[in-house]
Amino acid sequence: HSNEALRLDSVHVEVRRWAVASKGKLAVGTGARETARLAQEIWELCHGLLEDDPDESTAHHALGILHYEVMKLSRFKRFLARMFLGNEALSLASWEKAVYHHERAVSLEPDIIAFRVGFAETLMRRDRKLEAMDQLRRATSLPLLHPGDSDYTGLAHRYLNELSAERNG
């Protein structure tokens, strides 16, 4: 459906945002080749959004997730993916870009719980646990305003408990 929406109106920001979200959800449950194709489409949509508005927080958040998901693959899997399925989304992924885009999304819209939890996940992978805990605490203190906020808040509490147990154990 997102392709049809884009075909009908590829200029409207909301259409492109929803296309990014839709393609992101699809990418989670597909095979490697389809995931790589969707990742490239997400990459292109997000970069298009950022060309139009460098402060497009949703695009920064989506790119943060994209970089995170590629980088959390094992080196071997990343090598194979880049070798056989290579595209810009796979080839240009880095932890630095994951951190940058998540941090940028949070700085632009600090009250979005999903942005803070996504940033915290990236920080945890980078072994920046104190910073992750700060993002998670902030996420749990925010009001529930968006669909999924209660799920993200629950995830934030779970991560906080895990990180606290690590520090105390």
List the domain boundaries for the chain: 1-102, 110-169
CA distance 105 to 65: 11
The pLDDT value given to residue 6:
53
Low-confidence ranges of the chain (pLDDT < 50): none
Q: Which tens digits make up the pLDDT trace of 23-40?
A: 788 777 777 778 888 888
Is 66 strand, coil or helix? helix
Q: What tokens were used for 94?
A: 């880095």
The pLDDT value given to residue 57:
96
Instruction: Report yes or no on whether pTM surpasses 0.85.
Output: yes
The pLDDT value given to residue 8:
53
Contacts of 162 (CB under 8 A, 6+ apart): none
The pLDDT value given to residue 7:
52
Q: Which tens digits make up the pLDDT trace of 43-55?
A: 999 999 999 999 9
